[in-house]
Every structure is written in C-alpha cells, then in structure tokens.
Structure 1
Amino acid sequence: MKGKIVMAGGTGFTGEYFKKKFEEEGYQVIIISRNPSYINWDHTSKIKEAIEGSELLLNLAGKSVNCRYHKKNRDEIFQSRTETTKLLGECVLSCQTPPKLWINASTATIYRHSDDQAMTEENGEIGEGFSVEVAKAWEKSFFSFSLPTTRQIALRISIVLGKNGGVMTPYRNLAKYGLGGKQGNGKQMFSWIHIEDLYQVIRFLMEKKDATGIYNCAAPNPINNKEFMKAVRNMENRKRGLPAYRWMLELGAIFLRTETELLLKSRWVVPDRLVNEGFPFTYPTIEQALDEIKH
C-alpha cells in the first residue's frame, strides 16, 4: 500500500474516476461525502482521523452548478464549497501529522467572459457575477489557512471530458438526435480538459514538491463552441446539426432548471504554469480527447 488519499466529495463523475485510478496505483482511498456509505461531513473526528498522516487531501466537494440560480440554490452552492473547505482546514490544523499536500478544486469560471485573449494564472482577469463570486469565496476560504507543513494548491478546472458520464453524455445526445449545431453565436471559447489529464495533473503536482498556489487545469488548445460541436458531430458521424440560438437556450434553461451561462460564457483559459513546468498532456487537442472517449 503506497499511502492514504482522502477525497472529499469523491462520489461524482470525476471523483469515481480518481478513486479507481488511485486504487489501481496501490493507494488507500478514503471518501468524505453526504452519501451514507462514506464518512459523513458531520463526523468531524472521523474526518480528522482520515486526514491524519495522509499523502493527499483532495477536495472536490460542492453542489452542482447545473441548476437555476434562485436563492436556495445560490446559498447551497456557496456553503457546499466554503463551509466544507473551512471544516477541512480546521481538521488539517488539528492533525499531529498533517497531509503532505492539500489540493482544493476551484473553477476556470473565475475569469471574465473572454473572446479577445487567453486567461493565464499570471495575467488572467477575474470576472463578475454569481459564479465568479462563488469561485472567489471558495479560493479565499482555502488560502485563509496558513499551513507550514502542508502544500496548498487550488486547481482552476475547466470543463472535464471523459467516457460514460459528465458533460459528454448530453453533448453526444444532442449530436445523435440532430441538434448538435452551434450554441448561441458559436464564437464563445470552450476550455476543456480530458479526465485522464486532470488525474495526471494531480499526480504531477504530488511529485513536484515545490508546487504551490494556483494552477489552471485546461488543455493547451481551447476551441470555440462552433468548433467543439463540429468535433462532437464528427465523433457521432453526423454531418449537420441544428443550431440553438440564445432565445432557444434561455427558454430551454427554464424547463431544464439550469442556466445559459454554462453554455454561453466564453471561457478562454490556458494552462501556462503546467506547460512551463513540463507537464506532458496526453490529450492536448479536442480530436485526441474525443477519439479516446468514443472508443
């Protein structure tokens, strides 16, 4: 057994993938979740016990943003990120042997709507609006802790693409049923990362003992929405797809109980730090990523 990995919020699409990968490498994986099968957030003593002496504390916890942003959901989105991060930080502080590394999820949505330039860790411009405020509060909660023996890294994660779940399921269905055209004007940038590359980023940062601070987690070749939807259609052997104009998306979002921001915000995010520090992307282009997902 290599050591202990503690994952908070590790029961979703990404968390389940990571758990399988870590276990294949010989790590013991402990999950903190609202799911009664795992350590519950109310059991602070068990959380502390789990974190004690761990190789990595990985926090992926947070209510899905795929919902309508009314007050109840807004409050839950905020609290599910900031309060869990605060609780984990307090547990780390109380450990006799704190984790070597604490990686906290954040989001590439923290940057402004950008169709004029790429957002890097150093030169990225923070945006405005509800999603940005969530991201800022999330990172503030994380970096409010001063932990002398635990490295802290926040991952500004872009859209995660992978097999058998996540966002690829609805995108593939749109293409299959002839609805895989551009969304809005199609010019909004689409930053993404293959789930295997995201896992390898975490392994890379575990081994890179001087790595701290903020990292953008996105493939080095973002594309626009029109190009992405064309790639999805090609994946499904569909030459054409009906476009979804903004008014259609606004109407559909009401019935689907979601927000059009998830589709229409231009996210142009690039992983400068990872590239400069030599991280080898396995799926740097959308064609390579979708080819793996297809098979």
Structure 2
Amino acid sequence: MKYNKIVLAGGNGYLGGVLAEYYRPLANEVIILSRKNKAAHGNIQTVLWDGCTKGEWIKSLDGADLLINLCGKNVNCRYTEENKAGIINSRIVPTALLGTVIAGMDIPPKLWINVTSATIYRHAEDRPQDEETGEIGYGFSIDVCRQWEETFFNTNTPRTRKIALRMGIVLGRKDAAFPRLLNLVKCGLGGKQGDGQQYVAWVHEQDAAKCTEWLMNHEKLDGVINCTAPEPVKNAQLMSIIRDAYGLPFGLPAPAWLLEIGAEIIGTETELILKSRWVLPKRLLDSGYPFLFSKAEHAVKDLLSIRT
C-alpha cells in the first residue's frame, strides 16, 4: 500500500465517508475521529474523541501521512444566535485543539488539511475569485470562515505542512447538494432559483477526494487552496443541466420572495442558494491537477448513471 495512515477528524459525515472510501485501498490505516463509535470496516476504524479535550485519540495522529479536519456543524439551518454559536464553536474549538496537539508531537502528521469553505469570497457576478485576486466578503458565514482560517494558520506547527482547502458545493450521490436538486427536478420544481444568474462553485465528490492526495504528493503547496471545478456554472444553467440529464424539459422557477418563505419553513437561509460563488481553483490548475470532472454536464451524468 502507498500510504501508512490517513486520519479524518470529524469524518463521520458525507464527505468523510467519500474520503474514507477513496483512501481505503490506498492506505494501511484510515482512522476516523468521531464522537460516535463504529465497528471497523476493513482497514477503516473509528477512534472516539469529543473535539474539545485531549485523550487517547492523540496516538492516532502519530506518523500520519495526512490529517483532514472536517469538523463543523451543518450550516443548513436558520442563523439564530444559538445556531451561530454552534456553527462557530464546532469549527474553532476542534481546529485549535488539533493545532495545540500537533505542535507538541514528536512525529506529527506530514500534512494537515483543514476543509473550509469557498463561501469566504464575496458575492461575485462581475469576475471570478481565486486565491491571489479574490476578495473576502462580509456577513456571518464569511466571519465564520475568517475566524476558522485564522485559528488554523495562527497555530505554529513547524513540522506539519498546512492547507486551508476552500471547498465548493460538493456534488455527490448521497446526502449532499445534488440529491436535493434532483428531487426538485423530479417534483417539477427544477427551474432557476432567484434570477438564476448566481454562480455555483461546485466540485464532484471524486475530485474533492482525489485533490487531497494530489496535495499530499505536491509538497510545495501550502496555505490557501480553492477546491472547485474549473468551470463554474450559473444556477439557471445547472438546473437546466440536471433537467436535461434526467429527461424533464421544464421546471418551475422559484423567485427570491418564495425562497424566503420556503427557507423559513424548512429552517435554512436563502444565502445558501442566492449567493453568487464565482470561484476558480487557480493554484490547483497551476500545479497541473487533472480534474476528473471539469464540466457540470459530465459530473451530473456521472452521478445519475450509477445512483442507487
């Protein structure tokens, strides 16, 4: 096997599952740090941690090739004061804890990737945002990302390379954005949302996983890196692509005022739908990363072809 140990902190969610399955044939051990215990699945095992305190889990980090931190409360909720505190603390506290632990280790992980969010950039319809020329936005979700990355980079870990991976919206088969969008299409509601001109910074689940291995093997890369497909699409275009691939030529649109009502009913925020995320993965492209899925049409067809 190529790698000795891959550790996924907070890896019991959807993306953690994708990463665990990706690395299962490539590593001797894949360790998931989780609050909930699970039986071992081949070389994938779960080690208990609470994300707040030191414990036996620290041994799991010894000599790891890669640590990926995925901790964070789901932002798909109303931004009440209680939820805001939960969103912030669930990111800041585990990140600070990992930094403190890694700083004191004799054989720390070689690479620590903190999966953050491409939503840190401003609403952009005028030009794309990349790692070099992108502009940071304003508002609660951006403040979360800013604090998160500051906590990550302010910890001194001289023997561990660090990357803040600003992830776009992951298109995957299970428990991600794509099944929800597909359900809208199936119900005849798969038209544009708002004016449909907002960009969607998306990435296929396999590229979200594969690029972490690329980063592991390209040791000159560190700092902030965008993880989005190189060809973002507008909301209206994405919904049209999904409709066409599924075989439904028409879908009712959802104007912004209706989205406001719907968001309040289902307990989410319209920002998740209406913000224009025009983000490009300049550093990945400059390093030569070969995207498996650059075009949304191909990504959607792939996801539909092997859905279960």
* Matched-pair contact (CA < 8 Å) for 2:128–2:134: yes
Instruction: Tell me which moved more, 161-170 or 110-119.
Output: 161-170
Equivalent position of 1:68 in the other structure: 78
Equivalent position of 1:78 in the other structure: 88
- Aligned length, in residue pairs: 295
Equivalent position of 2:69 in the other structure: 59
The code of the aligned residue for 1:91 comes to V
Equivalent position of 1:90 in the other structure: 100
Q: Equivalents in 2 of 1:180, 1:227: separation in Å?
A: 11
In the alignment, is residue 18 of structure 1 matched against residue 27 of structure 2? no
In the alignment, is residue 151 of structure 1 matched against residue 151 of structure 2? no
User: How do 1:219-238 and structure 2 match up within 5 A?
Assistant: 219-238=229-248
The code of the aligned residue for 1:234 comes to D
Cα shift at 1:25: 1.5
Matched position secondary structure for 1:152: strand
For residues 258-295 of structure 1, give each alpha carbon's deviation from its aligned partner in whole angstroms, at most 9, with x where no partner exists: 00000000000000111111000010000110111011
Segments ≥4 residues shifted beyond 4 Å? none
Alpha-carbon RMSD:
1.0
* Matched-pair contact (CA < 8 Å) for 1:193–1:217: yes
The code of the aligned residue for 1:264 comes to L
Matched position secondary structure for 1:115: coil
Equivalent position of 2:294 in the other structure: 284
Q: Equivalents in 1 of 2:146, 2:14: separation in Å?
A: 24
User: How do 1:70-219 and structure 2 match up within 5 A?
Assistant: 70-219=80-229
For structure 2, list consecutive stretches of 5 or more residues without a partner in the other structure: 39-46
* Matched-pair contact (CA < 8 Å) for 1:48–1:94: no
TM-score, L = length of structure 2: 0.94
Identity %: 43
* Matched-pair contact (CA < 8 Å) for 1:5–1:55: yes
Equivalent position of 1:6 in the other structure: 7
Q: Equivalents in 2 of 1:157, 1:27: separation in Å?
A: 27
Q: Equivalents in 1 of 2:237, 2:299: separation in Å?
A: 14
TM-score, L = length of structure 1: 0.98
Matched position secondary structure for 2:55: helix
For structure 1, list consecutive stretches of 5 or more residues without a partner in the other structure: none
Cα shift at 1:36: 3.6
Cα shift at 1:210: 1.2
* Matched-pair contact (CA < 8 Å) for 1:109–1:158: yes
User: How do 1:240-279 and structure 2 match up within 5 A?
Assistant: 240-279=250-289
Cα shift at 1:7: 0.6
* Matched-pair contact (CA < 8 Å) for 2:121–2:142: yes
* Matched-pair contact (CA < 8 Å) for 1:58–1:104: yes
Equivalent position of 2:58 in the other structure: 48
